[in-house]
Amino acid sequence: MSVSVVVPQRRLGASRLTVSCPGLGTATWGTTTAAEDAAEQLRAFLSVGGTLLDTADIYAAGRSEEILGSLLGTVVARSEVVLATKAVGVLHDPGRRQNASYAHLLAALDRSLTRLRTDHVDLWQLHAWDPAVPLEETLRAVDEALSSGRVRYAGVCNYSGWQTAKAAARQSGVGQAPLVSVQAEYSLLERGIEREVVPAAADAGLGLLPWAPLGRGVLTGKYLGGVPRDRLDSRFFRWYVGRHLDERAAPVVEAVVTAAAGLGVPPLAVALAWVRDRPGVTAPLIGARTVGQLRESLAAEAVDLVLPEEIRARLDAVSAPHAGYPETGI
């Protein structure tokens, strides 16, 4: 399947992978996005030159990977996309939610490959840190996945700064191959990674893949007039989106909406342009419940908006994260 390139392509960290900016997130596939709608989302993404597809073994309990696997070879050839997934497992023990043991990770990878209907993924990411398993054991699983050819490159996701640095240092020293990426939540409403994760990634040469670049939907401005009652009744909405529906977020959203009005673009275009052009960012991952929502984000990206310096400075100031000792020195 051939596409006309509209969105830019960027190198992922120090790897040989070239990926589209943005990438397509599939966390809603199999839950609020049905298989037929997922196929339409993929077609829309491919039509603007998209190549990076990001999923995880826990998305919809594996259903996201199954849907994506069913579309490889039908909607698009496997060779025309950069396929990324994640593994860490979910335990029912409230005291330990992750399982990054050697055996579990490799078994999870094999299950992912079966669901995705492929013999390898281009990027395999450790979805979360597991304090109960020595990092050496976790990264031995990464080494095995790389040496066996089931994984081309590896990265981490939701790691803190010191965890990212420690994992990257081990892989660069005695690992099968260096890590190439770190995925983390990053937007005008969530800039915490700038304190330690971004510097750690830059030092290790890792590409940054921001998830939730639209502040879990809040930066679109659609909640400025209030939240629909049916959404307020949703426990998932209160947990996921409600995190960014507070007094701290309000002035940030208002600044985005004001900037968008002045530039004649939708608010999401401003929010995406801001995170896309942050230091170290390779590709924000955009996801949507519907193909209509996805097309809005893709249209905003295709405009290739460059924020004027005065607008960028205003957004930086109103959304600035707290920084103090030791990040700022003594």
- Report how far residue 9's alpha carbon sits from residue 16's, in angstroms, rounded to the nearest whole number: 12
3-class DSSP assignment, residue 33: strand
Give the type of residue at 267. Answer: P
Stated pTM of the model: 0.94
pLDDT in the model for residue 52: 98
Question: Which of these, 330, 186, 192, 204, lies nearest to 271 by C-alpha position?
Answer: 186
- Considering only the C-alpha atoms of the chain, give the largest distance between any 2 of them, rounded to a whole number of Å: 58
pLDDT at site 298: 93
pLDDT at 2: 42
The Cα 179–Cα 125 span in angstroms is 9
In tens digits, the chain (330 residues) has pLDDT values of 344 458 999 999 999 999 999 999 999 999 999 999 999 999 999 999 999 999 999 999 999 999 999 999 999 999 999 999 999 865 556 666 789 999 999 999 999 999 999 999 999 999 999 999 999 999 999 999 999 999 999 999 999 999 999 999 999 999 899 999 999 999 999 999 999 999 999 999 999 999 999 999 999 999 887 787 777 777 777 878 888 888 899 999 999 999 999 999 999 999 999 999 999 999 999 999 999 999 999 988 877 799 999 999 999 999 999 888 888 887
pLDDT of residue 1: 38
Report CA 153 to chain centroid distance, whole Å.
16
Helix/strand/coil for 60: helix
Helix or strand run (H / E) with residue 115? helix 102-116
Instruction: Print the SS3 string covering the chain.
Output: CCCCCCCCEEECCCCCCEEECCEEECCCECCCECHHHHHHHHHHHHHCCCCEEECCCCHHHHHHHHHHHHHECCCECHHHCEEEEEECCCCCCCCCCCCCCHHHHHHHHHHHHHHHCCCCEEEEEECCCCCCCCHHHHHHHHHHHHHCCCEEEEEEECCCHHHHHHHHHHHHHCCCCCCCEEEEECECCECHHHCCHHHHHHHHCCEEEEECCCHHHHHHCCCCCCCCHHHHCCHHHHHHCHHHCCCCHHHHHHHHHHHHHHHCCCHHHHHHHHHHCCCCECCCEECCCCHHHHHHHHHHHHCCCCCCHHHHHHHHHHHCCCCCCCCCCC
Active site residue 59: yes
Catalytic residue among 59, 102, 159, 223: 59
The rounded radius of gyration (Å) of the Cα atoms in the chain is 19
Element spanning 154, H or E: strand 151-157
Peptide bond into 22 cis (omega under 30): yes
* Topology classification of domain 9-216+275-303: TIM Barrel (3.20.20)
The span from the CA of 45 to the CA of 1, in Å, is 13
